[in-house]
Structure 1
Amino acid sequence: MIYLILFLIVIASDQLLKYWTISHLALGQVKILAPHLMSLTYLQNNGAAWNILAGRQIFFLILTPVVMVVLIYLLYRAPHKQYFYATGLTLMIAGALGNFIDRVRLGYVVDMLQLDWFNFPIFNLADTALTVGIILIFIDLIFKDEKG
């Protein structure tokens, strides 16, 4: 049940921030949140991370559901005590679905989070969930290897 709640919080937060961004910022507009730390910059990404494979929406519309089915299966089969692993899979599913909703609804993914202290591509909450999910799975794998 906790994983379902986490999933719903990530999806809702991601979609609400994207809706706010589209409603309140012009394309390319920057709104400073914390000077020299973080700002919002509305971008439309029709590719994957860092806009790789730009313009290949059909590819992502086919690939994402396949990946999500695999991740849901892995979550279903996850051992009961592997909290990092299950949380990581939940975040990855939510992140994939958050960006998939954009692709279906808008034809592109809404990106808006910009780190002003570090030269890094603009991203969104779904991207963050995917990244944190991958990190948690790696942590689980490291600890699993240490246990033997």
Structure 2
Amino acid sequence: MVYALIFFALLFVDQISKALAYAFDIENITIIPNILSLEKLRNPATGDLNTGMAYGLGSDQPWALPVFIALTCVALLIFLIALVKISKRKRFLRVSLVLIMVGAAGNLIDRIVLGGVRDFIHVSIGDLSLFNYYCNVADVAITVGAIMFILALLFVDDDALFRFHKKKEEQVTENASAELAAGAKEPDNDLGAEISGVGQEHTDKRE
């Protein structure tokens, strides 16, 4: 239930933010100077829509739209099955899947309804073309979800490959086992001392 609420809440944020950005035709609203701004994608050839995938990749290819729609549908089905099957204890991993699904669903809606994705978040770092692109809330959700997914598999989950506190937990377990073993021996020692004491008392009385 919680994951469903997260999914639909973020999906609503994605869709409403796109609608507002395009309705008000926002342009150059600076968030972080020279790095991040809100600015509607300008591309008259596609109706100001991104016909590629996340961050504008593949937008110039005519085959991109149907392929991305098909791949997104398959991916959503796979992630949904994974979300159902993954242990409820793995909350971090499950949230990462929800975020990826939100992003995929948000952009899928745009592609099916509009024929392209509405981008309005402009990231530009200097003259680096790699860091000069447009995206939206759905793209951000996919990126954050993907990062969380990797972190979950490598560090966060109980069976993570490089779990940070695994060694610490093992040490705590070893210490606890040692204490239990030591505690189990102490009563025997006390009992032996008592028996020795009783035996000594009988010896003293005989003398």
TM superposition score normalised by structure 2:
0.65
- Structure 2 equivalent of residue 133 of structure 1: 145
Q: Which structure is richer in relative contact order (CA contacts within 8 A, separation 6 or more)?
A: 1
Q: Percent identity?
A: 29
SS state of the match for residue 111, structure 1? Answer: coil
Aligned residue type for 1:48: M
- Structure 2 equivalent of residue 65 of structure 1: 73
Q: 1:50-101: CA deviations, max 9, x gaps? A: 4222231111121111110000001011111111110000001110000000
- Structure 1 equivalent of residue 28 of structure 2: 30
- List aligned pairs for 1:1-148, cutoff 5 A: 1-25=1-25, 29-43=27-41, 44-54=49-59, 55=62, 56-116=64-124, 119-143=131-155, 144-147=160-163
SS state of the match for residue 52, structure 2? Answer: coil
Higher fraction of strand: 1
Shift of 1:126: 0.2
Q: 1:21-77: CA deviations, max 9, x gaps? A: 110016xx4333454453111112100134222231111121111110000001011
Is contact 2:55-2:139 (8 Å) kept?
A: no
Shift of 1:105: 1.0
Ranges in structure 1 where 5+ consecutive residues have no aligned partner = none
| Structure showing greater Rg | 2
CA RMSD of aligned residues (A): 1.9
Shift of 1:116: 4.8
* Residues 32-41 or 104-113, more deviating: 32-41
